[in-house]
Amino acid sequence: MNYSGIRYGLLVLGLIQVLLLSCTDDDLKKAAAISAGKVALTKDRSLKVEVIYSDSAKVKAKGFAPILDKVSPKTGNQYQEMPKGVKIDFYGDLQTKTGSITSDYAIMKETEQLTIFKKNVVVVTDNMTFKTEELTWDQNKKMFYSPTGTVLKPDGSFVDAKNFTSTQDFSQTTFEQGSGVTYFKGDLSQ
């Protein structure tokens, strides 16, 4: 008989039992999901990330995220997720701040060139403030889209808007089915 093979087999079985006894129910479920091939992604986490976007050596935007996860599924496209939110400041040609976007969550789909901001999304420019729960930036079209939101003007007027669309610099906005309050200067009877 080969006693070294039996001893090795018993040692391996003993180690497996020790490992299984040290696992909780949640650990066993995770292990089962991984072995079944249900979990097939890698996630690289970065903390306190600051990103600078430039064009022709001019800073156009600076973004900050407390947490940035780069997710690479086994099948499908890579994406970047900001589960603790993001703040992006925009800059004009003279490097003065022209606006900002903040949200509690964001996801950037690299292949589609889409960034989706969700939860307490606020866009601030000199001409308006736009508040919504979801805003999509299409890099290819250089446009922003939102199904609903509120446009607030510096004079205190506001519009609740549906199908909000804006150019990348928020200089031109359109929306449908708007309702709200606006203020007029002067005499309307003339």
Q: For position 183, what pLDDT does the model report?
A: 56
SS3 26: helix
| Percent helix, percent strand, percent coil in the chain, to nearest 5 | 15, 55, 30
- pLDDT for residue 18: 46
Distance (Å, rounded) from C-alpha 92 to C-alpha 88?
A: 13
Q: Half-sphere exposure of residue 6, counting CA atoms within 13 Å on the CB side? A: 3
CA nearest neighbour of 148 among 139, 129, 135: 135
The answer to whether residues 118 and 108 touch, using CB atoms and an 8 Å cutoff, is no
> What pLDDT is recorded for position 134?
92
| Cα–Cα distance for residue pair 135/146, rounded to 1 Å | 5
β-partners of residue 79 are 71, 109
Q: What are the pLDDT tens digits along the chain (190 aa)?
A: 454 545 555 554 444 554 445 455 555 555 555 555 555 567 788 889 888 888 888 888 888 999 888 888 777 788 888 899 999 888 887 888 888 899 999 988 888 888 999 999 998 988 888 888 999 898 889 888 988 888 888 887 777 788 888 888 778 877 777 655 565 566 656 5
**What six digits make up the tokens of 85?**
């939110």
pTM of the predicted model as reported, rounded to 2 decimal places: 0.69
8 Å CB contact between 105 and 114: no
Whole-angstrom distance, CA of residue 26 vs CA of residue 18: 17
CA dist 158 and 177 (Å) reads: 13
Task: Give dist(CA 151, CA 158) in Å, integer.
Answer: 5
Would you state the structure tokens that stand for residue 98, as one six-digit string? 């022209």
d(CA 121, CA 114): 16
